[in-house]
Amino acid sequence: MNLILVLPILIPLFTAILSLLAWKRRHVQRWLSVVGTAALLGAGLWLLGAVWQRGIQATQVGNWPAPFGITLAADLFSAIMVVLAGLMGLAVAVYSLASMDARREAFGYYPLLNILLMGVCGAFLTGDMFNLFVWFEVMLIASFVLVALGGERAQLEGAVKYVTLNLMSSALFLSAVGILYGVAGTLNMADLARVLNGSEQPGLVTTLSMLLLVAFGIKAAVFPLFFWLPASYHTPPAAVSAIFAGLLTKVGVYALIRVFTLLFVGNVGFTHTVILVVAGLTMVTGVLGAAAQGEFRRILSFHIVSQIGYMIVGLGLFTPLALTGSVFYIIHHIIVKTTCSW
């Protein structure tokens, strides 16, 4: 097993476990979280260096051969995203030392933060569709509790909207995964690319692509599926909003880029034109929503929506230069929006 691919998942997992064991010692949890997120950043940089020098890294968990086993894989894009997850996690962990109240700390803030980071890194590194669904759910469970942590009325209202729409997205995603397996007989992404691009049922493949566009579009907060984000992102403490603004919707964008550059490239004239139209509408409606707000964090929430459009417009154009621009803008947005949320 390739250790550098497993560490970005294991480090936040063990940090969360150790934090749970130190449940009544909040000062220990604080520093465990800082050390754990620093170690995650280090593991991400190690992975990025390996990918930069030796190319795509892949491993099979449990030594089951592909496409039957659990595949972890990293190219330059996913390695950069893992580094950013570690960097933002460390920044938020340090900021939380001064900003997070004792009540939320007592109810498991630090273990939840690390479980969230584990889900994010798992989504970036997985090489098959079912495990992408699993990591989305790990991320969703942790993020739902973080949104509701504190029990304030506005938080609970935002949390209900957040979890309801994201559970609908998960149901659509799981349905698409089931149909994909029925059509292709595999869920390994590399194997799916081979099978789907030579499929004798192009209409069904296009339908599946639209189902996944809706599922990932909800998680990425694209038009017209974004209304859960402005209702929830401004309600938790600033540290939670920062990690949400920086990473969560980007996992949805990452998934969109992955599947629409690897799996669904047989009917680009239709699928990517739809993405281009959705991107334009997302840009416009996000800006108009921000202009109608009077509270700073709600303005930022709508700006996140608008800027998601900028990220996926490159996917809609589907040229190497446009996709490079999308990746560059994702990197920029993660850093800037995490900072602005404070």
Domain encompassing residue 277: 152-342
Residue 132 lies in a domain: no
Q: Residue 150: what are its φ and ψ, rounded to 5°?
A: 120, -30
Q: Is the dihedral of CA 83, 86, 87, 89 positive or negative?
A: positive
Residue 140 lies in a domain: no
249-262 and 129-148 helices, crossing angle to 10°:
170
Residue 145 lies in a domain: no
Is the domain of 156 the same as that of 123? no
Number of domains composing the chain: 2
Is the domain of 171 the same as that of 31? no
Is the domain of 205 the same as that of 107? no
Residue that the structure tokens 């939670």 belong to: 240
DSSP 83-109: HHHHHHHHHHHHHHHHHS-HHHHHTTH
Is the domain of 102 the same as that of 251? no
Residue 72 lies in a domain: yes
Residue 211 lies in a domain: yes
Is the domain of 70 the same as that of 203? no
Is the domain of 89 the same as that of 201? no
pLDDT tens profile 234-288 = 777 888 888 888 888 899 999 999 999 999 988 899 999 999 999 999 999 988 9
Is the domain of 115 the same as that of 162? no
**pLDDT attached to residue 248:** 87
Residue at a domain's end among 93, 127, 161: 127
Q: Which of 166, 174, 121, 169 is nearest to 141 (CA)?
A: 166
Is the domain of 187 the same as that of 301? yes
pLDDT tens profile 119-142 = 999 999 999 999 999 999 999 899
Is the domain of 214 the same as that of 329? yes
pTM: 0.93
pLDDT tens profile 8-30 = 999 999 999 999 999 888 889 99
**pLDDT attached to residue 300:** 81
pLDDT tens for the chain, residues 1 to 342 = 678 999 999 999 999 999 999 988 888 999 999 999 999 999 999 999 999 999 999 998 877 777 777 889 999 999 999 999 999 999 999 999 888 878 888 888 999 999 999 999 999 999 999 999 999 999 989 988 888 887 677 667 777 878 888 888 899 999 999 999 998 889 999 899 988 887 778 888 999 999 999 999 998 889 888 877 777 777 778 888 888 888 888 999 999 999 999 999 888 999 999 999 999 999 999 889 888 887 777 788 888 889 999 999 999 999 999 999 999 999 999 998 888 766
Residue 134 lies in a domain: no
Q: Residue 181: what are its φ and ψ, rounded to 5°?
A: -65, -40
Residue that the structure tokens 């990690």 belong to: 243
Is the domain of 163 the same as that of 282? yes
